[in-house]
Amino acid sequence: MALLHSSGFCFTAVAFNHPPSVSHGPGTVKASCSPFSSPSLPRLSLQRKAIPGDNGSPETKENSLVVCFGEMLIDFVPTSSGLSLAEALAFKKAPGGAPANVAVGIARLGGSSAFIGKVGEDEFGYMLADILKENNVNNEGMRFDPGARTALAFVTLRKDGEREFMFYRNPSADMLLQEDELDFDLIRKAKIFHYGSISLITEPCKSAHLAAAKAAKDAGVIVSYDPNLRLPLWPSADSAREGILSIWNTADIIKMSEEEISFLTKGEDPYDDAVVRKFYHPNLKLLLVTEGPDGCRYYTKEEDRLRDALKFANACGALTVTERGAIPALPSREAVLNAMLKSVA
């Protein structure tokens, strides 16, 4: 079982614009979709929540490039499941970092992606750049810092099902990306610009993040945001809430988890539609809420073709969590389609 769930993949599938097969009228529609019948895989489901308003689809560019901004690092995961970090006797090295995971996931599914971020001018940094290249991800926006190391993270899945993290970044190279190191031409070429919140924690990366997002927005690029809460990296819980919400209203697409809803609302019920709808700002095109083995919910004004896209995305997630690590576990488009075909055979 992998240590990372399908956090990037609800977003990933949207980028491919799968043709619509289901249409909904106004109101709330709940539906389940289970492409897999195997008991070893998580149950997959979708729930759609209609948002009154615009009936049109978001404008998109002719190209399909998704540029992902933020951290890329080395995850060390225990070779045995169900152990705390202290109990683990051995660890497996795996490339990761949420924005980089999305970039590789898109490329493995046949899409076009690029990564912008900073790693150390060290063996791990060069390894990560090579991994992007090997997976057909454009790494021209990657920078190398001679004075800081590539970030490391130790991560495990405990017996209670909760993940445990320990980070080494004091500071790591990704925190030191500067605005003048950004590839603005690459950003402006994107159809979608995707990022998380970790790049907002410290300077100079925070200013680089804001400048990159502004350039994307000014160029008419769709902006996608995954809050990706990693509380141990923030100075305090309050600073995490403030930082994560500080850019909320600039995003066109937001993907969040039940845990993040509870955290940002200081304990409100993440299953309550009224609570979730508080996060839907006027310019938002799509709000996705992931529910681990139960699939995801999506809230939109009118975007019917998302249903097929999210079935595909849930299948990606189901396959991903059957393997260890982040990037090594990401499936190919062929693997996903084959698995979905087997479920209806």
Question: For the chain, what is the radius of gyration of the CA atoms?
Answer: 19
- Rounded to two decimals, the pTM is 0.76
Amino acid 345: pLDDT: 55
- The pLDDT tens digits for 293-306 are 788 888 887 676 77
Residue whose pair of structure tokens reads 């004004």 in the numeric block? 301
Looking at the predicted structure, is the pLDDT value of residue 33 above 90? no
Amino acid 279: pLDDT: 96
Amino acid 296: pLDDT: 83
Give me the residues paired with residue 256 across strands.
289
Reported as a pLDDT band with limits 50, 70 and 90, residue 278 is very high
Looking at the predicted structure, is the pLDDT value of residue 63 above 50? yes
Contact 81, 91 (CB under 8 A): no
How far is CA 48 from each of CA 29, 175, 240, 296, 306, rounded to the nearest angstrom?
A: 5, 37, 29, 9, 9
User: Rounded distance, CA 20 to CA 309, Å?
Assistant: 9
Number of Cβ within 10 Å of residue 20's Cβ equals 13
**Mean per-residue pLDDT of the chain:** 82
What the block records as the tokens of 92 is 């497996």
How far is CA 75 from each of CA 114, 120, 239, 300, 312, rounded to the nearest angstrom?
A: 21, 15, 25, 34, 26
Looking at the predicted structure, is the pLDDT value of residue 218 above 90? yes
Amino acid 48: pLDDT: 57
- The pLDDT tens digits for 157-167 are 877 767 788 99
Least confident of 24-33, 58-67, 120-129: 24-33
| Contact partners, residue 335, CB within 8 Å, separation at least 6 | 319
Amino acid 83: pLDDT: 87
Least confident of 16-20, 90-94, 221-225, 289-293: 16-20
Amino acid 160: pLDDT: 72
- Reduced to 3 states (helix: H, G, I; strand: E, B; else coil), residue 335 is helix
Amino acid 13: pLDDT: 34
Q: Kindly state the average pLDDT of the residues 207-221.
A: 98
Amino acid 49: pLDDT: 63
